[in-house]
Structure 1
Amino acid sequence: MAVEFVGIDPNTDRDHCPTVWVDLEAEEILLQGWTARPGTRSACEATSPANGPVPDGEAIVRLPARMAPMIREACDAVERARLR
């Protein structure tokens, strides 16, 4: 597994740390964030084209918008790895 750190929430208190990594071998973006509140989860499920609720083993994760540059960087890293 080739997991590489991309970035951490710049406003972190080091106890609650939304974080972004990439796994270049698996071509995956890995996110650590806050668990969605029940109302948020319900709203996501209600607007999803998927069938039914979020299944076990999956989660809706919240990340602050200020982390968008890190998420873009992670997407770019996976795309570059795919083109190699």
Structure 2
Amino acid sequence: MNIHFVGIDPETDEDGCPTVWVDADTEDLLIQSYQADEETMTTCDALSPARAPIPPGETVVRIPKRMIPIIRKACDELDPGVR
């Protein structure tokens, strides 16, 4: 695996630390963040275009707005036109 660190929540408190990595082999983003609460999960299920529940093995994660620059940086690393 060719995974590398991109960034961590700039307001991390060392307990909860949303983090972003890039898998250079698959060009996937790997994101650690807060699991959405039950109300959010239910709402996302209801708004699903396929009207299907979130399947086993998948979840909804909440990424703090302050991490948008880190997500952009990770996307830019995977976009050959930006490198």
TM normalised by structure 1 equals 0.90
Who is 1:38 aligned against? 38
CA distance, structure 2, for counterparts of residue 5 and residue 51 of structure 1: 35
1:18-57 per-position Cα deviation (integer Å, ceiling 9, x unaligned): 0000101111000000110000011111112134111111
CA distance, structure 1, for counterparts of residue 68 and residue 79 of structure 2: 16
Q: Which has the higher helix share?
A: 1
Percent identical among aligned pairs is 51
CA distance, structure 2, for counterparts of residue 13 and residue 50 of structure 1: 37
Runs of 4+ in 1 over 2 A off after TM superposition: none
Answer yes or no: is 1:74 the counterpart of 2:74: yes
Who is 1:19 aligned against? 19
Please, what is the CA RMSD of the aligned residues?
Answer: 1.6
CA distance, structure 2, for counterparts of residue 51 and residue 75 of structure 1: 29
CA distance, structure 2, for counterparts of residue 15 and residue 67 of structure 1: 16
Q: What count of residue pairs does the alignment treat as equivalent?
A: 82
The unaligned stretches of length 5 or more in structure 2 are: none
The unaligned stretches of length 5 or more in structure 1 are: none
TM normalised by structure 2 equals 0.91
